[in-house]
Amino acid sequence: MYYNGNESLTHNKLFNFIVGNRGAGKTYWSKEWSIKDFIKNKNQFVYVRRFKEELKSKSKFFDDIAHKFEGHTFAVKGNNILIDDEIAGVFMSLSTAKINKSNAYPRVNKIIFDEFILDKGFYHYLTDEVTNFLDLYETISRMRIDVDTMKENNVVKVYFLSNAITVSNPYFLYFNMKINPSKRFQHFGSSDDLLVELVANRDFIELKKQTRFGKIIDGTSYGNYAIENNFLRDDKTFIETKTGKSIHYFSFKYYDRLYHIWIDFSEGKYFVSKDKDPTRTSIYCLTQSDHSPNTFLTKGTKDRRIKEFIRNYQLGNVYFEDINLKNVFFEIIRLFLL
């Protein structure tokens, strides 16, 4: 009934994104798989969270699963994960991963990145988050090629785990992964080496619906997320394609991507799109890294056009061509209002 990732393993992909019902057992399965692989093959793993504060409870890592492995001992010492007094894994936080660049991890064959999708709240994604993760991956995996056979050995695979918060996260956007919410397994990337699995176990769903809490939230937006595995933040309000009468107004550049603002004066609506960059456009940048010739670096709302756009966003007059754009602009607007 609970999640079993063995079927996803048969796809043999490098980066695996497992997005499933809250409480479906994604983390539990990843721990069980990692423990079994170490006991049988001595393969190690790295368990990643975004911030070191999220690892404060690491001493309890084995509390829910140790009983399944009678005759074996489990412990956590510092950032080392010990099984039978041997190092089986390592805890890492993505925010401090660069400190470990000089370390070697020749026996690591898997990375578990738990809760890779963030919800609204105290924590935020790291600046240039995906590059930070790719640096961490490169540090752990190195170049594992046998110079005689020119084949890779003991390839490091990644399992990104999350509840179904939103498809608008840095990883799906970075790799241009357009998710089909009705399809369980989806492959992406030029080498077809990115896998997304949307977990929706019907037995688990029906059982959860019968609990007292499940009955309370059944039919609500939170119930659709926590039980049915629908993406919590991806409602379709304010999703609309720009009209033929729309006139380009200006553009934003945010983490090297361009977003274009249009106005239909007859309807009094603003539209945000990713169309091909219009000619003779004013481009505003929100970060120093995006600032380049022929762009304006701005950190406030003093400019008249930006002030008008923010006000219309707050009034509900701004529409987006898709869910990704809408969710990206939550962050863009937040930066303007800081």
What's residue 202's pLDDT? 56
How far apart are the C-alpha atoms of 67 and 60, rounded to whole Å? 13
* Closest of 88, 96, 331, 103 to residue 233, by C-alpha: 331
The conformation of residue 242, written as its DSSP 8-state character, comes to P
Q: Which helix (H) or strand (E) holds 250?
A: strand 247-254
| Tokens, residue 181 | 């919410």
Q: Is 284 helix (H, G, I), strand (E, B) or coil?
A: strand
For residue 334, pLDDT over 90 is answered with no
* Closest of 267, 260, 262, 261 to residue 246, by C-alpha: 262
How confident is the model over 215-219, as a mean pLDDT? 66
Please, are residues 33 and 88 in contact by the beta-carbon 8 Å criterion? no
What's residue 16's pLDDT? 97
Strands of the 185-188 sheet, one edge to the other: 74-77, 80-83, 86-93, 44-49, 108-114, 157-163, 15-20, 194-199, 185-188
Write down the CATH number for the domain with range 6-226: 3.40.50.300
Which range of 44-58, 143-157, 188-202, 306-320 scores highest in mean pLDDT? It is 44-58
What's residue 145's pLDDT? 54
CA angle 77, 79, 82 (to 5 degrees): 50
For residue 117, pLDDT over 50 is answered with yes
Could you identify the residue written with the tokens 């048969």? 10
Residue 79 CB coordination number (10 Å): 16
pLDDT tens, 96-108?
887 766 677 889 9
Residue 50 CB coordination number (10 Å): 22
How confident is the model over 11-39, as a mean pLDDT? 90
What's residue 77's pLDDT? 96
What's residue 11's pLDDT? 95
How far apart are the C-alpha atoms of 76 and 96, rounded to whole Å? 19
Please, are residues 54 and 96 in contact by the beta-carbon 8 Å criterion? no
Which residue intervals of the chain bear CATH 3.40.50.300? 6-226
How far apart are the C-alpha atoms of 56 and 229, rounded to whole Å? 28
Q: How confident is the model at residue 147 (pLDDT cuts 50, 70, 90)?
A: very low
Q: How confident is the model at residue 149 (pLDDT cuts 50, 70, 90)?
A: very low
Q: Is 18 helix (H, G, I), strand (E, B) or coil?
A: strand
Residue 51 CB coordination number (10 Å): 15
Could you identify the residue written with the tokens 């993760």? 133
Q: How many residues does the chain have?
A: 338
Instruction: Read off the pTM.
Output: 0.69
* Closest of 110, 96, 104 to residue 142, by C-alpha: 104
**Nearby residues of 134 by Cβ (< 8 Å), 6 or more positions away:** none
How confident is the model over 31-60, as a mean pLDDT? 95
* Closest of 124, 162, 154 to residue 48, by C-alpha: 162
pLDDT tens, 262-315?
999 999 899 999 876 566 578 877 665 556 655 665 665 577 888 888 888 877
How far apart are the C-alpha atoms of 21 and 8, rounded to whole Å? 16
Please, are residues 170 and 129 in contact by the beta-carbon 8 Å criterion? yes
